[in-house]
Amino acid sequence: MASPFPGPASPFPGASFPFVPAENAAGRPARGAGGAVRQNRRVPVHQITDPDDDRIADYRALTDVELRTRWEPPHGLFIAEGELVLRRALRAGYPARSFLVDAKRADQLADLDTGDAPVYAATQEVLEQATGFHVHRGVLASFHRKPLPDAAEVLADARRVVILEDVNNHTNLGAVFRGAAALGIDAVLLSPSCADPLYRRSVRVSMGEVFAVPYAKLERWPAGLDQVREAGFTVLAMTPAPDAVPIQRLTPAQRERAALLLGAEGPGLTAAAQSASDVRVVIPMRRGVDSLNVAAAAAVAFWELGRDDPPG
């Protein structure tokens, strides 16, 4: 089967990158090279000895950001890395498609209700050849995505939100989600050009908190900020500009239903986004430092906005 993408050949000789069902038409795990099945407590584990086995096609070339970005969202999939992350995905109700584990760690999934999703196991050598990196956490899973809510639905249930413009660094995006979950942010809104929160690195850096914080896209940008304002929020644009309001000096009314707007690392917010905001705010810096990393700035601002919230 030919690769659905034009361009360079697959990094795995003789292998394509098709969307391959994890199960056959009869609803049973498909078999290929190394197709023996052994029982690990209640979880049947299917041994994989060939990195080109089509049963693990979901996991190929995981380090190729461009390929994965063009592949996963359109096909409704994402990859979770690490046992803690995949367990959080399951608890959040994401349907598992399959699991791929280091053969030495297969027992880690023995207590899971894996449903109809097959569990595949392979040596570290096979895992590395298939995925393109050393899977030191030893556990991967392929999940089906859930439909995204629209922005109005997310805003209706939120008191405090963060809005991200053009944040394309997956590490920063995951860190923002983790900070949002920890520091009282109820939802995340993304401009159309933001990175995918369910990309593997974002999910991993967030420690699975991307599953805990609702998010949606503002399809019209920056006009979509009007929708946020109409929902009763004050849009606070983060900027290092010297004439911005120090964030600790916001009025109680400005804090009450705050929508914190942050831009990408380096360029920051566009002029259009700042113009569409209600208040431009700054975290005061010392020692000549002009700004913080966007994830660090987000965490500081989240804490400041929620500093009077009751614990818990």
More confident site: 273 or 43: 273
Residue 86 clears pLDDT 70, i.e. is over it = yes
More confident site: 15 or 228: 228
Residue 12 clears pLDDT 70, i.e. is over it = no
134-170 pLDDT, tens digit per residue, is 998 899 999 999 999 999 999 999 999 999 999 999 9
- What integer pLDDT is reported at residue 23 of this predicted model? 42
Q: For residue 5, what are its two tokens?
A: 């993408």
Look up the pTM and report it.
0.85
- What integer pLDDT is reported at residue 239 of this predicted model? 96
170-208 pLDDT, tens digit per residue, is 999 999 999 999 999 999 999 999 999 999 999 999 999
Q: For residue 212, what are its two tokens?
A: 């805990």
Q: CA-to-CA distance for 227 and 217, rounded, in angstroms?
A: 12
Answer yes or no: are the C-beta atoms of 183 and 299 closer than 8 Å: yes
Question: Closest Cα to residue 255, out of 220, 292, 214, 301?
Answer: 301
> What are the angstrom distances between the C-alpha of 56 and each of 18, 37, 89, 235, 239?
10, 15, 19, 45, 45
Give burial (CB, 10 Å; 0-12/13-18/19+) of 209. buried
